[in-house]
Chain A
Amino acid sequence: MKLNLLSRIGTTTAVAAFALSGAAFAQQEPATTIAITHAKIFTLAGAPIDDGVLVIKDGKIAAVGTNVDVPAGAQVIDGKGLQVYPGLFDPVTQIGLSEISAVSATVDTTETGTINPDAVAADAILPSSEHISVTRAAGITEVLAVPASGGFDSRGSANLLGGQASAIHLAGWTINDMLIRKSVAMVIDWPTIDTESFDFTTFSRKQKPFSEAKQDYDKQVNELSDWLDNARHYAVAWGHGGPAEYQRDVKLEALVPVIRGELPVLVFASRVREIREAVEFCDKQKIKMILAGGAESYKVKDLLRSKNIPVILQPTLTEPLDEDDPYDRSLTTAAELADAHVKFAFGSFDNSFARRLGQQAANAVAHGLAYDEALKAVTIYPAQIFGLSDQLGTLENGKIANIIVTNGDPLELTTDVRYLFIKGQLTSTNNKHQELYQKYLNRPKAK
């Protein structure tokens, strides 16, 4: 691992020595100062800077521009011919919660039952997950680990209240190193009116008439409503007396920040009917909504705009929902949302395909989205949507130094990430895949 890192950055001896010290992963090492020089810097907070300098100090961006002095003693990375961007941000993954989707022992994405607001992703994130280093190699420096968000991982289990999503850096020895914010959103999987469903426990399909399906749907929405109402009552009792006055309830307690408007709900919904009803519901409940998925969000873009509801868009490389949809239906939604001034971000909604985040964004550009918007939709927009833009998403003074240095467009298929920084630490892009590659590249010829 160290050797590989050394070979990548071997041009600068100072940096090589740094790598050899094993500090590449150390998050609690003494502060280091690093300067990236002569690079084209895309701050995403203004025009790109040609032949610029970016200084990292104490894990933060200390300076960026053309007239920036390299501090004495700084480790210098010559960025000539290279480009600097904020690290990419994937706002819906199950990273750390799931290793091998089909092996349930390795999957911790979705609790049983339907009401699990007290489940917190950060409590079950595996810092040594192989997905972390593989995803990092694609230039993704931070993600949201979102409970109850994996279709297959969840075995079809539908949580009305799925738990709390955690924002994490993709590096760290422990969850404490990795945490950006433990709770950034409450997951709601919005119910659907399904006349046909698939039962994963018996592996058979089940059918019911529409009237029954509608009743089930209404029941679920009412249940959701009851939980929020109860949380509101609970918050009042909580604020007025000691434990003697009320019965402690951790689920209701977890919902209090939601009803107080401090914690947004991340609502998974695809169809226009469900999106509309979710918007109406959140409006009535006076809770802050973020839409996730949003296959048909383009049909309600004006509503989303007027209610200021941002969208974490399903992967652009997804089949259209309906047979009679235009063949490029999923590819043009991003451009339509942008045109309607709906704030959106791209998400992989996955672990193994998280590294396709750039590809997803580039495909939206190919279908009408402005390139700058695409870049922002994998960096600053997700940071804004989850209230983290004061810390992440652009290359500005004072922000956490999550940075990638590439040999080209970070959204393009063939671009390499040459250097990657998380919390200001030069972090290896080596991973399980590269190790297996090296091993079998060097297999002696079989006799």
Chain B
Amino acid sequence: MNKRLALILTAVVAAIFATATSSKLCAAQPNATPAPEAAPIILIQNATILTVSHGTIEHGSILIKNGKIAEVGESVNAPKDAQVIDANGQFVMPGIIDCHSHIAIDGDVNEGSISVSSIANTADVLNPEDIDIYRDLAGGVTTANILHGSANPIGGQTIVIKLRWGQPASKLPFEGALPGIKFALGENPKHSNFGGRGREARYPATRMGVEETIRAAFSEARDYKAKWDDYNKRNAAGEKNLIPPRRDLRLDPLVEVLEGKRYVHSHCYREDEILMLLRVAKEFGFKVRTLQHVLEGYKVADELAAAGVGASTFSDWWSYKEEAWNAIPYNAALMTRRGVVVSINSDDAEEATHLNQEAAKSIKFGGLSHDEALKLVTINPAIQLGIDKRVGSIDTGKDADLVIYNHDPLSAYAVVQKTLIDGRVLFDRQEDLADRPNLEKEKKALIDKEKKELKDEKKSDAKPGEKKPDEKAKPQSEDAVAGGAL
């Protein structure tokens, strides 16, 4: 199965294929134990440090204390008890930030049954045991923007997480990062590629309808906000016997958008729909924080720069659907040159494991510099998510979210050796390799146990012709797969 399938359909569909074939056995993965209370003091030395903010330091060191970067430079003052990581011949860069991810939420990506699904929230369905967290961590990703799918003009609420493998769901959210809401324009919300064919059409079915759905929702939200503002004002003035307006969980997140307390991340492709959304946002007085995919962003780059909207795009995806027909791999570079803050995202758990390589393609396609290419997956997505004071570059005081590669990360030959989050090594390639025989042993033991149990079961109570419970079809609602694309 290819990436297009994951993109055009939905993670739910992908999950169906996966569950149909994947083993139910899940051996424990490395680092699955809770992290120790206090982060160790770590000194990374002899490394080529790609700071992103202030150039490259050859043979430099980074001192990590309390999960933060305490010092970075050619030489640093490290305490004697510091744990030393000798990165001789290796490269350190800031942890990769993926501005468009659907990991850690399993099949719960798309609430596709309704056109405005702002009630849904990816934060409610975080699964800290999703193996894609570990795999992406092993690809150098430390922070991800966990988005709802793109089945609706206004989709669900979204959350930024750190890939703290081994920690419970409550520890995943990026502290203080503003939550978001997913919007979607074009073919997916209008169900171009999977409507009909025995399924009832859902409004909207045109780009006109997509715009009107958003406008209608914000008209309601504006009135709703006015009611609450009026109530709060009168309440504060001491007025008695007031009845508060009825709470509307669908409109609350939209009010937060109007108040600038929630970011809008909008899936989009075509130039016309991009400008449409910017017009609607202006009309209602809210900001679009990022345009996601935005494959025709290069056509209206000046307009994006003027609106101050971030663009988060693919490296070289194209032609998987009509609205991706004019996608070009020069998109990131063209938008960058016109002053747009641009990031390269994955939208796919596998793609996320080599975002460093995807960023490198903007050197070939459009001539970005080495540093500009690095920014596409570090400080730029950090700016887009409003977390650039915490992460995205290697500077004193920032979170010690770092990746160590054996080569320049902008090469297809670079392999992640270690990934650190908050100053803790959460992925170590050597440890992972060393642990594999143990996992194999554990897996074999589990299989043997399962086999034995099955055998015993058969002996004791098997009746001829009787169906085992696990062979019965599980009830599945159609909406579970009807969502549309991500």
Chain A residues packing against B (C-beta within 8 Å):
99-103, 130-131, 134, 151-152, 192, 194-198, 201-205, 207-210, 271, 315, 317-324, 326-328, 349-353, 355-356, 358-359, 362-363, 365-367, 411-416, 432-433, 436-437, 440-441, 443, 445-446
Contacts and interface: CB of A to CB of B under 8 A. Distances in A.
B189 to A, nearest CB: 15
Nearest to A439: B299
A287 B349 CA distance: 39
Contacts of A411: 412
B428 interface: no
B334 A440 contact: yes
B39 interface: no
A351 B2 CA distance: 11
A153 B121 CA distance: 32
Contacts of B26: 323-324
15 contacts: A101-B4, A151-B2, A152-B5, A203-B478, A271-B21, A317-B351, A321-B22, A351-B319, A352-B319, A359-B357, A414-B410, A433-B365, A436-B326, A437-B298, A437-B334
Contacts of B25: 323-324
A51 B197 CA distance: 62
B75 interface: no
A415 B411 CA distance: 10
A100 B350 contact: no
B307 to A, nearest CB: 11
A362 B321 contact: no
Contacts of B334: 437, 440-441
Given A205-B16, A318-B350, 7 more contacts: A102-B322, A196-B20, A350-B2, A366-B415, A412-B412, A414-B364, A446-B300
Contacts of B321: 100-103
B320 A101 contact: yes
Interface stretch (B78-86, B130-138, B210-218, B243-251): B130-138
A95 to B, nearest CB: 11
Interface string B212-226: 000000000000000
Contacts of B350: 317-319
A204 B478 contact: yes
Contacts of A351: 319
Contacts of A322: 22-23
Contact of B412 (A194, A208, A359): A359
A363 B467 CA distance: 46
Interface in B287-307: 298-303, 306
Given A205-B481, A433-B329, A440-B299, A327 B134 contact: yes
A411 B360 CA distance: 13
A103 B319 CA distance: 10
Interface residues of B, number: 81
A387 B13 CA distance: 38
B282 to A, nearest CB: 16
A201 B197 contact: yes
A193 B324 CA distance: 35
Interface string B3-14: 111001100010
B1 A203 contact: no
A192 B349 CA distance: 25
**Chain A contact residues: helix, strand, loop or mixed:** loop
A299 B8 CA distance: 32
A151 B7 CA distance: 13
Interface stretch (B142-150, B154-162, B254-262, B468-476): B468-476
Nearest to A271: B21
Nearest to B471: A209
3 A-B pairs with least C-beta separation: A446-B302, A362-B412, A102-B321
Interface in B71-101: none
B5 A151 contact: yes
A404 to B, nearest CB: 15
B202 to A, nearest CB: 13
Contacts of A412: 411-413
B278 interface: no
B354 interface: yes
A432 B330 CA distance: 12
Contact of A324 (B199, B320, B412, B443): B443
B361 interface: yes
Given A355-B316, A414-B363, A367 B415 contact: yes
B413 A203 contact: no
A78 B168 CA distance: 61
Given A203-B194, A210-B471, A152 B432 contact: no
A363 B350 CA distance: 13
A362 B193 CA distance: 34
Interface string B408-445: 00111111000000000000000010001001000100
B252 to A, nearest CB: 32
Given A204-B481, A317-B350, A327-B138, A366 B413 contact: yes
A245 B400 CA distance: 81
Contacts of B306: 446
A103 B415 CA distance: 37
Contacts of A446: 300, 302-303, 306
Contacts of A352: 4, 317-320
B412 A363 contact: yes
Contacts of B414: 366
B386 interface: no
Contacts of A441: 330, 334, 337
A366 B412 contact: yes
A324 B22 CA distance: 9
Contacts of A433: 318, 328-330, 365
B19 interface: yes
Given A271-B21, A412-B411, A101 B8 contact: yes
Contacts of B411: 412-413
A318 to B, nearest CB: 6
A322 B19 CA distance: 9
A141 to B, nearest CB: 19
B331 to A, nearest CB: 9
A134 B253 CA distance: 43
Contacts of B394: none
B367 to A, nearest CB: 10
Contacts of A415: 364
Contacts of B326: 436
A204 B318 CA distance: 27
Contact of A416 (B4, B303, B364): B364
A326 B478 contact: no
Contacts of A271: 21
Contacts of B443: 324
Contacts of B197: 201-203
B302 A445 contact: yes
B287 to A, nearest CB: 19
A359 B410 CA distance: 12
A405 B354 CA distance: 27
A443 B300 CA distance: 9
B418 to A, nearest CB: 14
B473 A207 contact: yes
A362 B356 CA distance: 14
A151 B14 CA distance: 12
A414 B467 CA distance: 57
B284 interface: no
A271 B439 CA distance: 21
B412 A207 contact: no
B27 interface: yes
A437 B415 contact: no
Contacts of A327: 134-135, 138, 353, 432
